[in-house]
Structure 1
Amino acid sequence: MATIQLYSLGSPNGIKIPIALEEMGLDYDVHPVDILKGEQHNDDFKKINPNSKIPALVDLNGPGNSSHSIMESGAILLYLAEKSGKLMYQDPVLRSETIQWLFFQSSAVGPMFGAFGHFHTYSKDACDHPYPEERFANETKRLLKIIDERLENQDFIVGDEYSIADISIFPWVIWLDVFYNASEQLSLKSFTHLMQWLDVCKNRPATIRGFDVFGFSEIGKT
């Protein structure tokens, strides 16, 4: 048994952690959580994450050599970066910027992209009013523009190195295109700096291995 136990599935947040673990070279076991069957509400899982969300992680060799549970994808990425000493800057300014962009993803990209995907893809029959989809499409495009402008003069979200800031964001952009089928509606290709960055991120060997954990090994070829 590996010391790191991952509870997750193939979602924009869930896929980040195997990608990071592959980049960091940390051994881990995967426990798929079928949210369609409500497994996230099982008592055993709620002991790991009382909020009943994936991903969640248990480090059997955590601080003080004791078992340690972590919830929230951003918190997990930060914990693993500190544990491994990888994908996180030591420079205090760049470290601060990395954490800021983790929060940007958690507070803006995830909720807004996810809400757009819900109304665009999954709730057509439940809500025929155009306002919700238009509202979240506009906000999604605003956030894409922020990321695109950020990448205009640099290769990665923070500094000149790939970090957990990149891993926290790029799966959500993939979901807009491949799983929400919204590339044309959002004019994704017009965000040229973002698309160049996305191509680099999704074709990294660790990304391909991470996606393969949940059967998405072809994602880098889309």
Structure 2
Amino acid sequence: MTDLSAFPITRRWPARHPDRLQLYSLPTPNGLKVSIMLEECGLPYEAHRVNFETNDQFTPEFLSLNPNNKIPAILDANGPGGEPLPLWESGAILIYLAEKTGRFLPTVPARRYETLQWLMFQMGGIGPMFGQLGFFTIFAGKDYEDKRPRDRYAAESRRLLGVLNQRLSGRAWVMGEDYSIADIAIFPWVRNLIERYRAADLVGWADFPEVQRVLTAFMARPAVQRGIAVPDSALP
């Protein structure tokens, strides 16, 4: 049996199945990227809930794995060379899992880099901008009388949705017929923007029929539905 005792995080979140990949997460868009990817790949894993309400992310055990105190993070008992691999940053984890399983990331160099391009579009654009808009719609920023900051992020979110809408025209997924880590990264954030942040009116959601179409297809995937449920029901 794999011994993970050298990793302090397992003292706070004991591994019941140490031979499986350990996921530390929450049901945020970034967290869902990884649980969805794991479900899509069919890798055996064990999920642990990192409770922000009790500041789990600032505990020494969690910081020993991710010094940036963010979820998601993983500990793969069967990493490269058969050695355990701790890893954080959702984009890096998606790339790692895609390469580990040979799925959802093209091996042809030009297609691979194009897919990574759209992954970075989410990491550097959609995630930060949608997240800032959420601050001004449902979190503390909603009480600000000055709506100019909110409107700035709404305008940028609309622009990003427009880029995505154009890309999806005539395509089943971001990369065409091939479902990829670009879709797995992008669409949890799109879902969150509309369902949790309730920003449909602010961003003109009706103007993006291609994004709506692909979001519906994404949400219909059984692995996506399972992955969405995982972090919320994970062991404490």
> Which category of TM-score, normalised to the shorter sequence, fits these structures?
over 0.9
Moved more, 124-133 or 107-116: 124-133
Which residue number corresponds to residue 218 of structure 2?
201
Aligned partner of 1:143 among 157, 160, 164: 160
- Partners of 1:21 and 1:214 in 2: how far apart? 12
Q: Percent identity?
A: 43
Asked if 1:56 corresponds to 2:77, the answer is no
Match of 2:172 among 142, 155, 163: 155
Distance in 2 (CA, whole Å) between partners of 1:22 and 1:125 is 35
Match in the other structure for 2:34: 17
Q: What do residues 160-207 of structure 1 show as CA deviations (whole Å, max 9, x unaligned)?
A: 210000000000010111101111221212201111011001110000
| Distance change in 2, residues 1:125/1:81 (3 Å) | closer
Letter in structure 2 aligned against 1:98: T
Q: Distance in 2 between matches of 1:73 and 1:61?
A: 19
1:36 corresponds to 2:53: yes
Q: Cα offset for 1:124? A: 4.0
What are the Cα deviations for residues 66-89 of structure 1, in whole angstroms up to 9, with x where unaligned?
Answer: 111111100000000000111111
Q: What TM-score comes out, normalization by structure 2 length?
A: 0.88
Letter in 2 for 1:114: G
How far apart are 1:97 and its partner, in Å?
0.6
Q: What is the CA–CA distance in structure 1 between the aligned matches of 2:178 and 2:142, rounded to whole Å?
A: 44
Partners of 1:94 and 1:159 within 8 A in 2: no
Q: Which residue of 1 aligns with 2:204?
A: 187
1:1-222 aligned within 5 A: 1=17, 2-124=19-141, 127-215=144-232
Count of aligned pairs between the two proteins? 216
Judge which range, 160-169 or 124-133, deviates more. Answer: 124-133
1: distance between equivalents of 2:141 and 2:87? 35
- Calculate the TM-score normalised by the size of structure 1: 0.94
Aligned to 2:198, the other structure's residue is in SS state: coil
Query: Which protein is bigger by CA-based radius of gyration?
Result: 2
Structure 1 unaligned runs (5+)?
A: 217-222
Task: Supply the distance in 2 between the matched residues of 1:125 and 1:191 (Cα, whole angstroms).
Answer: 25
CA RMSD of aligned residues (A): 1.3
